Chains A and B, each alone.
Chain A
Amino acid sequence: MLTQDKLLDMYYRMVLIRAFEDRVHELFTQGKIPGFVHLYAGEEAVAVGVISHLRRGDYITSTHRGHGHCIAMGVDVKGMMAELYGKKTGTCRGKGGSMHIADFEVGMLGANGIVGAGGPLAVGAALAAKYKGGGGVVVCFAGDGAQNQGAVLESLNAAAIWKLPIVFVVEDNQYAISLRSLSSTKLQPRVSTARSVAERAVAFGIPSVTVDGMDVLAVYEAAKAAVERGRAGEGPSLLDCKTYRYYGHFEGDPMVYRSVEEIDEWRKKDPIKLFEEKLLKSGIATQAILSDLRRKAALEVDEAVKFAEGSPYPEPSEAYTDVFTDPYY
């Protein structure tokens, strides 16, 4: 049973992700954040539902859409915001930006600019976890689009034959940029109405399940079994989470490939609202508690923006450090 504390912690992480992403959207529009930014708003239930099972020593690999994974893993949002601004105090000292936030301290092995690249990295981290013993697991987050990348398919097979402690989490947000996930696989669904890559996992010998990715408790339940399987040394699993991104593929996307009506339909199934309803109905929380948490999240993001804006840029000479462990570049 989930305790009240745990449930409220999950809620807080979800609203913190949302507050962070909504703010980044504004800041990007105002021209304060440069580069390519991919927002996670709408998909909060997936990151939080899965990551709520992780403990110190576990790892995740992430994607270009990594802010939600970071926040769910407990990466400091001040450092994240400063990273987005390209400041010296950023998580990666301003060298990485939105697409490359990593924090190995908390087990976040990095957002990634290359679609599918997290698959092999997760296999390696899981190989290390298995070798070291201790029941560590690795979660590999990847989009519906990434499922068609050779690196991901090879990773599924490698994880299966080596019986690795990995949970492959498919974030099927219906699109890979403009390509509908429906038209990037021929497979018919077992559970949902959408076609599903969960079928593929079965062909690799990996148990899989299709999950309502807008329902954090459903994701949590599905992930529980998968994580336990990994910790027990029984091998990989795959969760195919059906979800939706609210903003464009990247900030600035004209979104010619989908309608406003479609976005509105999905917003009606908002994962935060859905969770709120459940928390209120079960008496776990009151409106007052939830609005306090939302206010706290907004404040945390305000602080992060202040911190980022008040931080210095890196020294130009820092462009030449960190290529190797020694000063040579």
Chain B
Amino acid sequence: MSGVREITFVEALNEALLQEMERDPTVIVMGEDVGVYGGIFGVTKGLLDRFGPDRVVDTPISETAFIGAGVGAAAAGLRPVVELMFVDFFGVCMDQIYNQAAKMRYMFGGKIKIPLTVRTTIGGGVSAAAQHSQVLYSIFAHVPGLKVIVPSTPYDAKGLLISAIRDDNPKMFFEHKLLYGVKGPVPKEPYTIPFGTADVKVEGSDVTVVAVAYMVHEAVKAANELKMNGISVEVIDPRTIVPFDKDAVFKSVKKTGRLVVVDEDYERCGFASWVAALVADECFAYLDAPIKRVTTPTVPIPFSPVLEKEILPNAEKIIKAVKEVVK
């Protein structure tokens, strides 16, 4: 593709919104501080000036009302992109997501579509404590009817957001806080990335490491270090949790015979456990070692940097897990 530049994850998301809003007048943006402020992390910067207050709506702190309004507007023919700053806040408006948006099409016999995109930030590592540091994508993946998108690079962020806006289903779009400043090559023109297509970040033959969002970067760091120790790691980024590219993971595990899943979500009943179960079901005969998960222990995220560091997954912990499975 032509016109490729190095831009940040934030700029990539911003460009996706801008281009889709230009292309399709039914795309609107709503959320707290998305207008004048341009989004608390800058993702909606400039959109109010460009498209005006009818299409870029600053909402009061009434999440049930505006997330729910996103659902209703989607049912009535718009393509809303609704932002709620932190995934931790969804407790206040969850019904509109997990009983309304997620289930309407099914309950109504497939007669309607809900082309809604809900954007939010996830992740720890910035001492934001128990109510601003969670990941929680597993909760949304657990509910039938929601697509779950977890980009790890500026390129994926733009392509997946454009795909999300054009997709006719309710989607949760998760942006890791530590990724906003990350730079990478992104084509100027609009492009899409099909959901459910994994990206092999590093090719390898000894161990398969599956990771999403910010953890992809820690996994790649770990793979590079392990290479110097003579261990060849294949890093796979599924990019979307729902739908999930099982084939890519199975293919890799059949080659390597070993699996480590890295997941910043809580250990109990989370994404990593599900991937481990899928592989245990389908690839048992190919496994040469027990499957390992590198996750966040099921404790609230503590404030103190010392405590937070103790619990969050990182390259060091991934290296340890990989060494255990190749032993």
Contacts and interface: CB of A to CB of B under 8 A. Distances in A.
Q: Which 6 A-B pairs have the closest CB atoms?
A: A97-B303, A113-B131, A86-B304, A94-B304, A35-B127, A34-B127
Contacts of A314: 304, 306-307
A235 B310 CA distance: 47
For this complex, into which size category does the number of interface residues on chain A fall?
Answer: 35 or more
B60 A177 contact: no
Interface in A283-329: 313-314, 316-320, 323, 329
Q: Give the most central of B65, B306, B309, B311: most A CB within 10 Å.
A: B306
A257 B37 contact: yes
Nearest to B40: A177
Interface in B28-69: 32-33, 35-38, 40, 58, 60-65
B269 interface: no
A146 interface: yes
A280 interface: no
B190 interface: no
B139 interface: no
A116 B302 contact: no
Contacts of B89: 114-115
Interface of B: 32-33, 35-38, 40, 58, 60-65, 88-89, 91-92, 126-132, 297-300, 302-311
A179 interface: yes
B62 A178 contact: no
A38 to B, nearest CB: 12
Contact of B128 (A36, A145, A179): A36
19 contacts: A35-B128, A36-B132, A86-B304, A86-B307, A94-B304, A99-B129, A100-B129, A100-B303, A114-B91, A114-B131, A149-B92, A150-B92, A177-B40, A178-B58, A184-B60, A313-B305, A316-B307, A319-B302, A320-B299
Contacts of B310: 316-317, 319
A37 to B, nearest CB: 10
B307 A34 contact: no
Given A99-B129, A150-B62, A178-B58, A114 B92 contact: yes
A115 to B, nearest CB: 5
Contact of B299 (A112, A145, A183, A329): A329
B299 A86 contact: no
Given A100-B130, A115-B61, A319-B311, 11 more contacts: A94-B307, A95-B302, A96-B129, A99-B131, A100-B131, A114-B92, A116-B92, A150-B62, A178-B36, A179-B36, A329-B299
Nearest to A313: B306
A161 interface: no
A113 B132 contact: yes
Contacts of B306: 86, 94, 313-314, 316
A24 to B, nearest CB: 14
A203 interface: no
B307 A319 contact: yes
